[in-house]
Amino acid sequence: MAEPKDEIPASPISPLMVQLLYETPPSIDFPRLTSKVEEYCGRTDPNARPAADADLAHYFMLDAQVQYKQGCMPSQLCLVGATVPLDPGLLEKALQQTWDWPEVRQVVASTPCALLANDFVAAGLERKLRNKQFRCFLRAVQEIAPCKAMHWMNTQKIVNPERFVFQQGEEEPQPLYGSINVRLFNIQGTSGDILMDTLGLGVMGLPDIQCHYHGLQPDDVAPILYNVAYYIFQHGDIIKNGETVPGVLENDKWRCQHEMALVGPERIVLDLDPGGHYAAGDRRTRQP
CB 150 within 8 A of CB 161: yes
Q: What pLDDT score was predicted for residue 85?
A: 63
Cα(267)–Cα(38) distance, integer angstroms? 34
Q: What pLDDT score was predicted for residue 11?
A: 59
Q: What pLDDT score was predicted for residue 12?
A: 62
Q: If we measure between CA atoms, which residue out of 198, 183, 221, 215 comes closest to residue 100?
A: 183
The amino acid at residue 147 is C
Mean pLDDT of 46-63: 94
This prediction's pTM: 0.91
The CB density around residue 84, as the number of other CB atoms within 10 Å, is: 6
Q: What pLDDT score was predicted for residue 82?
A: 65
- pLDDT, the chain, mean: 90
- The residue count of the chain comes to 288
Cα(229)–Cα(236) distance, integer angstroms? 10
129-154 pLDDT tens trace = 999 999 999 999 999 999 999 999 99
Q: Which of the residue ranges 56-60, 91-95, 151-155, 277-281 would you say has the lowest mean pLDDT?
A: 277-281
**H helix or E strand, kind and range, residue 41:** helix 30-41
- 8-22, 42-56, 69-83 — most confident range: 42-56
pLDDT at 283 over 70: no
Mean pLDDT of 168-176: 75
End-to-end CA distance of the chain: 16
Q: If we measure between CA atoms, which residue out of 233, 217, 218 comes closest to residue 270?
A: 233
Mean pLDDT of 198-218: 96
67 vs 271 pLDDT, higher one: 271
CB 259 within 8 A of CB 286: no
Which positions ≥6 away from 126 have C-beta within 8 Å?
none
The CB density around residue 129, as the number of other CB atoms within 10 Å, is: 15
Beta bridge partners of 33: none
The dihedral through the CA atoms of 266, 199, 165, 175 has a sign that is negative
pLDDT at 285 over 60: no
Q: What pLDDT score was predicted for residue 268?
A: 95
Q: Could you give the C-alpha distances from 73 to 39, 67, 69, 132, in angstroms and in order?
A: 21, 7, 10, 18
The amino acid at residue 157 is K
pLDDT at 169 over 80: no
Q: What pLDDT score was predicted for residue 287?
A: 38
SS3 percent helix, strand, coil of the chain, rounded to 5, is 30, 30, 40
Q: What pLDDT score was predicted for residue 284?
A: 44
Q: What pLDDT score was predicted for residue 213?
A: 96
pLDDT at 83 over 60: no
CB 85 within 8 A of CB 67: no
Mean pLDDT of 40-49: 96
Cα(155)–Cα(17) distance, integer angstroms? 9
Q: What pLDDT score was predicted for residue 188?
A: 87
Mean pLDDT of 150-176: 88
CB 57 within 8 A of CB 38: no
